[in-house]
Every structure is written in C-alpha cells, then in structure tokens.
Amino acid sequence: MNITQPTLILDKQKCLRNIKRMADKAKKHNLKLRPHFKTHQSGEIGNWVKNFDIDSITVSSVSMAEYFAANGWKDITIAFPFNILEIEKVNNLTKKIKINLLIENIETFIFLNKNLKSKTGFFIKIDTGYHRSGINWDDFEKIDKILESTKKSTKLNFIGFLTHSGQTYHAKSKKEILQIHFDSIKILNFLKEKYIHEFGNIEISIGDTPSCSIAEDFNGVDEIRPGNFILYDLMQYKLGSCSVEDIAVSLACPVVSVNNKRNEIVVYGGGIHLSKEFLIDKNGNKYFGYVVNFQKNNFSLPVKDTFVKSLSQEHGIIKTNPDYISKIKIGDVLGILPVHSCLTVSAMRNYLTFDGKVLGTY
Amino acid sequence: MNITQPTLILDKQKCLRNIKRMADKAKKHNLKLRPHFKTHQSGEIGNWVKNFDIDSITVSSVSMAEYFAANGWKDITIAFPFNILEIEKVNNLTKKIKINLLIENIETFIFLNKNLKSKTGFFIKIDTGYHRSGINWDDFEKIDKILESTKKSTKLNFIGFLTHSGQTYHAKSKKEILQIHFDSIKILNFLKEKYIHEFGNIEISIGDTPSCSIAEDFNGVDEIRPGNFILYDLMQYKLGSCSVEDIAVSLACPVVSVNNKRNEIVVYGGGIHLSKEFLIDKNGNKYFGYVVNFQKNNFSLPVKDTFVKSLSQEHGIIKTNPDYISKIKIGDVLGILPVHSCLTVSAMRNYLTFDGKVLGTY
C-alpha cells in the first residue's frame, strides 16, 4: 500500500465474514435480512451483499436510494420519516423500482396520498422507547388515524410496523440490550395482534445492529435491518455486538510527530476523517479510536494501552506506552479503528482494499 | 430558495463584514493577515478575501495547498507538522509558488533538507501550552538542533516561530483568552530575542481565532492566521470572539416530524451534515446547534429556548418551546447555526448563497 494521507482501509475478508454471519443468522431464524446500507454506502460492497441471496435493502435518505437504485437494487426501504420536499425524486424512483416509505404522522400520509404517482408501500414508524422519532407505541389515536385513512387509499399500501431500538446504544450490558430487544418485539407483536384482523398481513421490522447481533430470539419478527454489522466499529465492540477482530475498517494515518516525553504520537488524521464521535473509557476519559498496525493483508489487534485521545480538524493525538513509542518513527503509517464507522465512511467517501482497489461511496 | 435536503446556506454580506473587520484590525496593528482557509475551504470565498489586499494564506494540508494554488494563490503556509510522505506534492508546488512549511523535529528537517528540490521557508512550530503538537517552548536542545542545522542548509530557510494557542478554546472567559494570548506572545518574543542575533530576522506568527478576535495587543507579532473568523460559529460565539449576528452559515434542514407532547421537532440534518461537535449549556446539557428562521435574504437571530439536543446520522432532534412548535409544520425548512463551522463545511462541501449561487470547496 502506498499511503501518503489519511486513507480508509477495508478488509474485504472480514466484511464477507460479517455478512455471512448475519445472513446465516437470518436464515436460521427465518428472517428477511434487509441490510441498512447507510453504514458502508458503497455500490461495490453492495454487490458483495447480493452474493448472499439478499435482494432488498434499507437506506437512510432519498439520495441514497437513488444511488443504490442506480446500482441495480430493486426493493429499497427508505428508513427515515418521509421528507415531503423530496416527493418528486420518490415519484421518479417508484416508476422503476419498489420503494417502501416510513410514515409517522397523518400530515405526511395525506400529502403522500395526494402526491404519489404509483402505489407505494409504507411502514408506520413506532417508537418503542428510543424517543427520537416515530409514533409512541401506545398513541393509538395517531396510529388509528393513519390506518383508517389507509383503508380508503388507492396509493398507499400498509406493510407493517417498523422500529429502530436505538436505545440499545446506551445500554450498559448485553443483558440490557436483550431486555430492550425483548420489550421492543413484545410491543410490535402487540400492535400486530391489535390490527391484524383489519389487514390481511402485518409485517414487523426491527433494525439496530446490537439487538440483531446479540439476540437469538426473534419471535414474530419478519425482517431485520442492521447496517453496521458489515463493518462494525469500537462502539459495537464496546456494546458486545462483535469481537474486535470483526472490525473491518481502519483509517491509515501518517505519523508526523513523536513526543517521547508525553508518550504521544501526532498523526495526520483528524475529525474531518474519523468524525468526532467518541467513547468513554473506564477511567472516564474520552477516546476517539484504537491503534492497529498494518500487516501484509490485514491489520493487527489493537496496540495495548494505546488510543486516540483527541482530534482536531486534521490532527489525531495518540496516547501510548514507552515500549510502543520507541518503535514509531516519523513517516510510519498507523491504523485507527473508528468509534463509529458510519460517520467515518461518510467523512472519507472512499475505501482502499488490501488488493489495491478503491471503492467509492454514494 | 428551493431547499429539499440539508443545504449549507452562506450569508455573503456577513462574510464580507467579518473579513473586513479582521483586515482592518490587522492593518491597525500593522500585522500581516494570512487567513487560514481550512474553515471555508472555498475558492470563491478565497476570491472575496483577495479583494481586501490579502495575498498570502494558511492551509492545513498539502492537498488544500494544491487546491488553493490552482485557485491562484502564490504564497501559502501549510500549518501542519510536515508529513514527509507528501514530499513529491510539495516539490511540485514549490516549483510554481512560495510554500512555507512547519517543522517540529530534526528528523523532518533532515528529510526535507535531503529531499526538497527548491529552497523553502519554514517555521518552527512552538508549543506555548496547548500540548497538541510543536516543540515545547523551553526545549532549547530541540530548537537549537534545528537552528544549527539550518545555518548549513542550502534548502531550508528559517522564517520564524509559529504557534497555535488552541488552549484558548478551553478558556472560560475573555479574560482567560487574553491571558493565554499574552503569555503566548511573551514566549514567542522571548525566543525571538534569544535567537535573533544569529538570524537577521525572525518572524512571529500566531493563529487562533479567539485571540485574534478579542485581543488588542499584538506586541512583537508579525503575522496572524485566524480562519474561523470568516464564518464564525456557536463555539466562537460562546467564547466571546463574535456576536451571534456574525455567524455567516446555517444548515437548512427540512422538518420531517413534529412531536407536540415532547416539544421536539425532527429535521432531516444530522451528524453527517453538522458534525458531532457539541457544546454544553449552563444546565450541563449538550447542544449541537441553535435554530434560526430563514427570511428573504438572511436568517433570523436564534429562536428562544430552542436548540439541537441530539444528532443521529441523518436526524436532528430540536428541543423547543410550545409557542414555537405551534408554528412549525412538516415540510418547513429551519436553519441550524453550527457549533463548529470548519467541520460542518468539511462535511457539506458546498454552500448556497442567498442569491442562489452554489460555491464548491476543496
């Protein structure tokens, strides 16, 4: 690898292993895997996913749907409260492929019912406790209003209830993640029961990577939409969703300064590359990444007692131990495992694989 | 404005006013203004700066130097510890224009002395207390080593001492910023005195926007390199570098959901647009932006008791008051004043001005 500036390195083998693990799990539990492509955002990685008999995906924006539609995907859920200002783009998409939308208020339903040009499926976004978006699961007045209108609609086809239990990201243990997952699917099953007599079928779609990675009970769930599992990152590792060996990306950063007195290394690689997402270690200190070494066709496990302690726009400051720093010289290239790969990918917009291929993103 | 998705809106008039204020200040204090272009990153905004008789700039990477060289700039300081892996690009640049580098260790000096193809000026980067990078100001052994080697070099020309007092960003008051600024220039003047008998002239270059905005004493300083002052942001506002009216950018975000019970608005506009940089309010809560309304040719002052309380990849959650939320409907477009405009610009990579022009960035 001829690295001269911050470069996002992708380990394709880890990626394939991660996809296979989740595809096998979905098959085992008879779930449809509709992976969220907002993490990797890449047409080429999407093609790898296709090889696991996956033909439907999730995206987080209309523009991302356009990109993946152009990459040959024909069944896409836009898992974001529908933005009515983008109706024209959606009408262009629904002419060609199957698009599923998310609705969480009657205003958007009425707008779509009036302005959609093709019959389109939608999920009702349910808030099972994350409190970011979605209708509170017990706000039956709001749910009823949409479902009543659905019966008269020739444009909108109700598919089912969808949630993103993002509260798992704040969980302190695997047990807590499983509890959130369990509560969440219980709620969705309750809603399904409540309304199924009026609608021939109601699907249940759940999304977060921690639940999908850790849980083994998916009672009543039809579809899972994890995204981060293809690359993983330190946040998922900390939550227990993956082992550190599963993390498939690292940011290659040139060393520009070495401070032996402080045991600190300055690398070219900052907030505009990694994003400013951080985690808190057991001593209460922020960290923005772990450090790995590049080997011929992969990267090492994290270096002991070594982490990114701060980030400026282009600088990363790595805190390490005397032993490691004694081996580092200016011009070396270190790898940084990101805290949140979705944001790092979004900042970098390209990957480099170990066989020298550059993969673009949306 | 026909906004359908997150769009970075630039108020050109505010921008010009901000540039003029700093240019006037530099003139008044007989300082060379070498603005840092890492904040705005735009060729077009650079052209506005040119109209204030400014002919030299600062950038934070070699690639950014290439971009601005292509935009006609002929005197560029790359204010980042030199990355030896990019020597080839620098040799291409120095063939055509004047480039100044930053050196903070003898290894980089030796490398440059061997590999540079044209005579090139350099600053020694001094750490006056920020402890990110640079040589500790009292590490005379390191400074001497570089300066001794300089005397024998036919390639490297010592310009002076440069610092970035980034510790001002952690200051709790204007008084504290002024104290840091004062201590910092005292140190640089001390170094100038110490070495001036050996070098005909030694320049002093300082950089951070808080000091340059607030201070009125620049005793002994030759050059200032603020960058953020052209756009400003909430971080600078909080530090006292600017008034909230000076902030020249806001992210236009479509409203996709309104939660009256929680007084929360969900907008399309998240961490991949604004960056995850945050500030802490007086109650200890994080905020990721303030909310403004768009008017014909500008945006309003921040809406009272209204702020971005959290960000996901594409979602922004705005906390507000019952009065404001009662006026908001789905499909409205709100503006968000960013916490850190450098990172928001870097994430967005384009501006839209009120007269409908799209300005690209590097």
**Shortest CA gap A82–chain B (Å):** 6
Looking at the fold, whether B222 and B258 belong to one and the same domain comes out as: no
Last residue of a domain, one of A208, A231, A254: A231
CA proximity to A79, closest of A118, A115, A140, A37: A37
Count CA within 13 A, CB hemisphere, residue B224: 31
Cα dihedral B314/B320/B323/B327 (nearest 10): -10
Residue B18, token pair as written in the block: 């901000």
Mean pLDDT by runs of 10 across the 362 residues of chain A is 94 98 98 98 98 97 98 98 98 98 97 98 95 94 97 97 92 94 96 94 95 96 98 97 98 97 97 97 96 95 97 97 98 98 97 97 94
Task: Give the Cα separation of B45 and B362 in Å (integer).
Answer: 11
Question: Residue B52, exposed/middle/buried by CB under 10 A (0-12, 13-18, 19+)?
Answer: middle
Q: Could you say which DSSP state residue A303 is in?
A: P
CATH number at residue A138: 3.20.20.10
E strand or H helix at B238, and its extent? Answer: helix B234-239
Q: How many residues are there in chain A? A: 362
Q: What's the residue count for chain B?
A: 362
Chain B within 8 Å of A317 (Cβ-Cβ)? yes
CATH of the domain at B334: 2.40.37.20
Does A3 contact B85 at a Cβ distance shorter than 8 Å? yes
Q: Fill in the DSSP letter of residue B299.
A: B
Hey, is the C-beta of A108 within 8 angstroms of any chain B C-beta?
Answer: yes
- Candidates A85, A308, A343, partner chain B, best to mutate (most B CBs within 10 A): A85
Closest in A83, A131, A254 to B256, CB measured: A83
Partnered with residue B291 across adjacent β-strands are B336
List the domain range (segments joined by +) for residue A261: 244-360
Q: Give backbone dihedrals phi and psi of A323, rounded to 5 degrees, phi first.
A: -65, -50
A38 and A137 share a domain? yes
DSSP result, A104-170 = -SHHHHHHHHHH-SS-EEEEEEEESS--SSSEETT-HHHHHHHHHHHHH-SSEEEEEEE---GGGGG
Let me know if residue A306 belongs to a domain: yes
Residue A28 lies in a domain: yes
Q: How far is B329 from chain A (nearest CA, A)?
A: 9
Residues B211 and B287 in one domain: no
CA dihedral defined by B261, B263, B267, B272, rounded to 10 degrees?
-110
Contacts of A271 in chain B (CB under 8 A): 275, 277, 343
> CA–CA distance from B293 to each of A12, B264, B355 (Å)?
46, 16, 17
Q: Do B267 and B310 belong to one domain? A: yes
- Distance (Å, rounded) from C-alpha B32 to C-alpha B316? 40
Q: Provide the 3-class DSSP secondary structure of residue B184.
A: helix
Q: Among candidates A195, A191, A214, which has minimal Cα distance to A205?
A: A191
Q: What's the CA gap between B30 and B25, in Å, rounded?
A: 8
Report the DSSP beta bridge partners of residue B267.
Answer: B255, B316
Contact residues, chain B, for A261 at CB < 8 Å: 136
B339 shares a domain with B303: yes
Both A220 and A347 in one domain: the answer is: no
- Check whether residue A216 and residue A162 sit in a common domain: yes
Measure the CA–CA gap between B264 and B256, rounded to whole angstroms: 11
Residues 171-230 of chain A with CB under 8 A from chain B are none
Which of B41, B111, B314 should one mutate to test binding to chain A, selecting the residue with the greatest count of A CBs within 10 A? Answer: B314
How close does chain A come to B5, measured CA to CA in Å? Answer: 8
C-alpha A63/C-alpha A59 separation (Å) is 9
Say how far apart CA B297 and CA B239 lie, in whole Å: 27
- Per-residue pLDDT, B37: 98
Are B211 and B101 in the same domain? yes
Q: Clarify whether residues B213 and B115 are in a common domain.
A: yes
CB contact under 8 Å between A111 and B331, yes or no, is yes
Give the end of a domain, one of B226, B260, B291.
B226
Closest residue, chain A, to B341 (C-alpha): A313
Residue A95 burial (CB count, 10 A) = 10
Which residues on A lie below 8 Å from B330 (Cβ)?
A: 84, 105, 107-108, 111
3-state secondary structure B9-49: EECHHHHHHHHHHHHHHHHHCCCEECCECCCCCCHHHHHHH
Q: Alpha carbon of B282 to those of B104, B173, B194, B238, B279: distances in Å?
A: 39, 14, 45, 11, 10
Dig out the tokens for B126 from the structure: 């001094």
Listed in order, strand segments (DSSP E) in A169-221 are: 203-206
Are A14 and A248 a contacting pair, CB within 8 Å?
yes
The predicted structure's pLDDT at residue B296: 87
Do residues B157 and B262 both lie within one domain?
A: no
- SS3 state at A313: coil
User: B333 contacts in A (CB within 8 Å)?
Assistant: 85
Rounded CA-CA distance A95/A86 in Å is 15
Same domain, B254 and B199: no
Q: Where would I find the beta strands (DSSP E) of chain B?
A: 7-10, 32-33, 57-59, 75-81, 98-103, 120-127, 135-136, 156-162, 203-206, 223-224, 249-259, 264-268, 279-280, 286-287, 289-292, 307-311, 315-319, 333-338, 350-353, 358-360
| Whether A64 and A124 share a structural domain | yes
Last residue of a domain, one of A184, A207, A231: A231
The reply to whether A352 falls in a domain is: yes
Q: Which residue of A has its CA nearest to B108?
A: A330
8 Å CB contact of A315 and B80: yes
Q: What is the pTM of this model?
A: 0.96
Q: Which among B85, B105, B272 is the nearest to A257, CB-wise?
A: B105
Bridge pairing between strands A120-127 and A156-162: parallel
**B78 falls within a domain:** yes
B window 250-269, beta carbon within 8 A of A? 254, 256-258, 261-262, 266, 268
Is A59 part of the contact surface with chain B (CB cutoff 8 Å)?
no
A41 conformational bin, left if phi > 0, alpha if psi -120 to 50, beta if neither: left
DSSP, res B167? G
Give me the residue from A5, A133, A262 closest to B266, CB to CB. Answer: A133
The structural domain count of chain B equals 2
For residue A317, the chain B residues in CB contact (below 8 A) are 132-133
Residue A83 contacts B, CB cutoff 8 Å: yes
Q: Is residue A73 part of a domain?
A: yes
What are the structure tokens assigned to A166, written together? 């993002």
For residue A310, list chain B residues with Cβ-Cβ distance below 8 A: 132
CA distance B273 to B270: 5
Distance from CA of A135 to the nearest CA of B (A): 9
Please check whether residue B251 is in contact with residue B9, taking contact to mean a CB–CB distance below 8 angstroms: yes
Q: Which residues in chain A have their CB less than 8 angstroms from residue B314's CB?
A: 38, 60-61, 80
Residue of B135, B126, B129, B80 lying closest to B102 (CA atoms): B80
For residue B64, tell me if it sits in a domain: no
Phi and psi torsions of B262, nearest 5°: -90, 0
Instruction: Judge whether A238 lies within some domain.
Output: no
- Report the distance separating Cα A36 and Cα A208, nearest Å: 9
Give the C-alpha separation, A278 to A309, whole Å. Answer: 9
Among A3, A86, A342, the residue with its CB nearest the CB of B313 is: A342
The answer to whether B339 touches B288, Cβ cutoff 8 Å, is yes
What is the rounded CA–CA span in Å between residue B345 and residue B356? 18
Q: Please indicate if any CB of chain A lies within 8 Å of the CB of B107.
A: yes
Full pLDDT tens readout for chain B, 362 residues: 789 999 999 999 999 999 999 999 999 999 999 999 999 999 999 999 999 999 999 999 999 999 999 999 999 999 999 999 999 999 999 999 999 999 999 999 999 999 999 999 999 999 999 888 999 999 999 999 999 999 999 999 999 999 998 899 899 999 999 999 999 999 999 999 999 999 989 999 998 999 999 999 999 999 999 999 999 999 999 999 999 999 999 999 999 999 999 999 999 999 999 999 999 999 999 999 999 999 989 999 999 999 999 999 999 999 999 999 999 999 999 999 999 999 999 999 999 999 999 999 99
Instruction: With respect to residue A259, please indicate whether it lies within any of the assigned structural domains.
Output: yes
Report the chain B residue with the minimal C-alpha distance to residue A313.
Answer: B343
pLDDT of A211 reads 95
pLDDT, one tens digit per residue, over B186-218 is 999 999 999 999 998 999 999 899 999 999 999
In terms of phi and psi (left: phi > 0; alpha: psi -120 to 50; beta: otherwise), the region of B220 is left
DSSP state of A284: S
Q: Report the distance separating Cα A251 and Cα A1, nearest Å.
A: 13
Token pair for residue A75?
A: 């069944």
ipTM above 0.90, yes or no: yes
**Is A166 in the B-facing interface, judged by CB distances under 8 Å?**
yes
Q: B5 touching A, CB under 8 A? A: yes
For A83, B150, B256, the CA distances from B253, given in Å and listed in that order, are: 10, 53, 9
- In the numeric block, which tokens belong to residue B198? 């050996």
Report the candidate in B102, B79, B224 with the shortest Cα–Cα distance to residue B158: B102
Sign of the CA dihedral A330, A332, A338, A344?
A: positive
